[in-house]
Structure 1
Amino acid sequence: MARFGKLLSRPVVISGAVVLTLLVGFGLYWFQPWKLVVDETVNESLPSAAPTAEPSPGTGTDQDSGDQDASATPAPPAEPRTLVSGELISHEHTTTGSVRVVETADGNRILRLENLDTSNGPDLHVWITDAPVIEGRGGWHVFDDGEYVNLGKLKGNKGSQNYELPDTVDLEQLTSVSIWCKRFAVSFGAAELKQA
């Protein structure tokens, strides 16, 4: 009888260990707790247009051949123009930094996070949305209620980084930005975008 009890208990122990291992593995995958202590810093420079050739003073183009004078010097690239901007506020996690949308000389629009400092976390994305930016817990979950455009995964939880804005984004309709955790449907931080 005792031998039968030992045989019965061995499969129970093994199956219990397997279930526990699966639960721990799933918990580590889902919550990724190491991200609470590991920062990812990304510092990208603000994109600018390529320099354009500009004739040196006192020179010009050859009227007969149409060739430009060899002494032409490149003009400095045009600075990007800020269209809208805002300051990040904290939601689920303490978040600081600023957001602005700039237009480069070649017409591209870039959403730029500057001096971002937030917590790292699983499945963080940058969203531009039509939701209002509300302080406190009331603002944590509003960004997936209406229209939003996912600009991609957050490149790093610290630093300055650029995200291309699709041509379809209307800055009069989409007036806020959220650092959005897709896994838990919560905003880490957000900014209202206002005309520059």
Structure 2
Amino acid sequence: MTQGYKIAIPVFVLGFLAGAGFWYLFSPSFIDRVVSEELPAGLELTETRNGQFRDVDGAHRGSGMVRVLSNEAGGALLRFTDFEVTNGPDLEVWLVRNPDPKRSADVSASQWVSLGPLRGNKGDQTYVVPEGTDMADWGSVVIWCEQFSVLFSVATLLPAGN
């Protein structure tokens, strides 16, 4: 009887750890996080730049609009509307100097600044650009998987009105 426990317990522990690891790594791929943030009321903002999110490859897809909204004091917000991206672990929103990164290596080779974790892979959301950041210096907004250094979606920033 004890021989059965010597086999069953390690198999159970390994199965539990493998299952937990699988859930951690792959559950974001089939569970959507939907957000619906309103733009803060009472702000006088001007759209200075915008872009469309696009697919990077067959597995990493993105769509929706990003707008750079600035105020007279020099502050800026990124506003995502009709946004949707393939979900994944540890996704972040980055500003990248390269205006048209096509691969993860293009992002890694460029300068970037993180605006923090992606709040949801679907829906409207707003991100604060750090004070002192000159938006004219940044060519694109990317959705980046920090854990695996993978580009999920990119939006090239163009002057508003283009």
Q: For residue 6 of structure 2, what is the aligned residue in structure 1?
A: 11
In the aligned structure 1, how far is the partner of 2:136 from the partner of 2:94?
15
Q: Which residues in structure 2 correspond to 1:117-196 (within 5 Å)?
A: 117-135=84-102, 139-196=103-160
Q: For residue 101 of structure 1, what is the aligned residue in structure 2?
A: 68
Give the TM-score normalised by the residue count of structure 2: 0.83
Aligned length, in residue pairs: 158
Deviations 1:135-185 (A, max 9, x none): 4xxx24432333211101111111111100112322232211111111221
Aligned AA (2:107)? F
Aligned AA (1:188)? F
Q: Which residues in structure 2 correspond to 1:54-65 (within 5 Å)?
A: none
Look up the SS of the partner of 2:116 in the other structure.
strand
Q: C-alpha displacement at 1:101, in angstroms?
A: 0.8
Higher relative CO (CA 8 A, sep ≥ 6), structure 1 or 2? 2
Aligned AA (1:82)? E
Q: C-alpha displacement at 1:7, in angstroms?
A: 5.0
More strand by share: 2
More helix by share: 2
Answer yes or no: is the 8 Å Cα contact 2:99–2:157 preserved in 1: no
Identity value in percent:
31
> What is the RMSD of the two structures over their aligned residues, measured on CA atoms?
2.2
